[in-house]
Amino acid sequence: MAVTQDDLYATLDLDLSWSEAELPERVRTKHVHRLHPYHGKFIPQLVEALLDRYLERSDHVLDPFAGSGTTLVQALESGLDATGVDIAAFNCLLMRVKTAPYDLAELAGELQDVAMRVESLPQRGARPSGYLRKWYAPRAVAELLGFRELIPEYRHREVLRVILSRAARSARRAAHFDLEAPKEPQREEYWCHKHRRECRPVEAAAGFLRRYTVDTLARIEEFAGVRDVDREATVLHGDARELDLAGQYDGILTSPPYPGLIDYHEQHRYAYELLGLDDRREREIGAAASGTSLVALEAYRAGIAAVLARASAALPPDAPVLVVVNDRRDLYPEILARAGLRLEARLRRHVNRRTGRRAGEYFEDVLVARPA
């Protein structure tokens, strides 16, 4: 018998499912969550609900696949300490910038100064790499490199690196509807599925640099108003299969990579190129580039199980291990067993996606497990 919409909804955890109207994009990407786009993150409202249900204020939560830092940012807002691990250097930079404590007056002084100097960026500098020449118009690349030259003059260099990266993402010669993973640069006018009109490839970066400098300050200021100043976030850069997790935690909340979906280094390639970041893509678990062959899936199961086993070893008995995943291949029952975890509940939630060409709805699970 066919499953009806009502049957499907009856299995949902409605407290973890929101409609677009209840939770529009601007709320899902409030304050520092949108310092830079990131494909494959979960929403802060889900983290908030799970921290509230399974952990206590002033607990310390660990996210071994921390990505853009949603768990860390929300933990600070919810009054918890947090530690996040990620293999991708850009993600770690982004997390540090989102969660660092700031002297807001000093930050404002620097960013206002930078915003003014965007009008007259230095024009000399390094010859652009092949990647930059391919993906940027000559004026855009000159402006990005000019901004990069300014960075060493300031104290908040990491903030400026994130602003540069965000502007570089927007200034690529990529179609507006395909900013997540463009394959080839767009050199001519094109029909834009996002704006439903003819659009032209971007020629300049200065406008983005100025806008994002101002926006970044506003977002950091807004977050400073809601974060708990007595809590802190720690970012560890490395492979969660082998990194020293340095401490004891009260629970785990994470959304692991899923095989064959996203290349987490490649999606921010411009940042690696411009900032000279350490590229460790060969250590990414489940990277899309590794495919979904039987061998790749086995490497994935072994990799995630190793991370969850190591992370759980840093927990007290019976602590919650919360894994958010859309497990369409049903890999997780075996992964959890291999990691020595007992599945206590599988909560279904409805996910709305209203942006980009991959818009549509789907379901994902929150696996609630505990050390067996």
Ligand X SMILES: C[S@@+](CC[C@H](N)C(=O)[O-])C[C@H]1O[C@@H](n2cnc3c(N)ncnc32)[C@H](O)[C@@H]1O
Residues lying near ligand X in the complex (CB under 6 A) are found at 38, 40-42, 65, 67-68, 70, 85-88, 91, 239-241, 255-257, 264, 283-285
Instruction: Kindly state the smallest distance separating residue 118's Cβ from ligand X, in Å.
Output: 28
Nearer to ligand X, 210 or 219 (CB): 219
Nearer to ligand X, 118 or 306 (CB): 306
Nearer to ligand X, 148 or 241 (CB): 241
Nearer to ligand X, 68 or 78 (CB): 68
Instruction: Kindly state the smallest distance separating residue 264's Cβ from ligand X, in Å.
Output: 3
Instruction: Kindly state the smallest distance separating residue 246's Cβ from ligand X, in Å.
Output: 15
Nearer to ligand X, 228 or 239 (CB): 239
Nearer to ligand X, 149 or 239 (CB): 239
Determine how many CB atoms are found less than 10 A away from the CB of residue 283. 16
Residue 371 near residue 312, CB atoms below 8 Å: yes
Nearer to ligand X, 139 or 281 (CB): 281
Instruction: Kindly state the smallest distance separating residue 369's Cβ from ligand X, in Å.
Output: 17
The Cα 231–Cα 289 span in angstroms is 38
Instruction: Kindly state the smallest distance separating residue 243's Cβ from ligand X, in Å.
Output: 7
Nearer to ligand X, 140 or 288 (CB): 288
Instruction: Kindly state the smallest distance separating residue 358's Cβ from ligand X, in Å.
Output: 15
Instruction: Kindly state the smallest distance separating residue 236's Cβ from ligand X, in Å.
Output: 9
SS3 track for the chain = CCCCHHHHHHCECHHHCCCCCCCCHHHHCCHHHHCCCCCCCCCHHHHHHHHHHHCCCCCEEEECCCCCCHHHHHHHHHCCEEEEEECCHHHHHHHHHHHCCCCHHHHHHHHHHHHHHHHHCCCCCCCCCHHHHHHCCHHHHHHHHHHHHHHHHCCCHHHHHHHHHHHHHHHCCCCHHHCCCCCCCCCCCEEECCCCEEECCCCCCHHHHHHHHHHHHHHHHHHHCCCCCCCCEEEEECCCCCCCCCCCCCEEEECCCCCCCCCCCHHHHHHHHHHCCCCCHHHCCCCHHHCCCHHHHHHHHHHHHHHHHHHHCCCCCCCCEEEEECCCCCCHHHHHHHCCEEEEEEEEEEEEECCCCCCEEEEEEEEEEEEC
Give residue number: closest CB to ligand X: 67
Instruction: Kindly state the smallest distance separating residue 287's Cβ from ligand X, in Å.
Output: 7
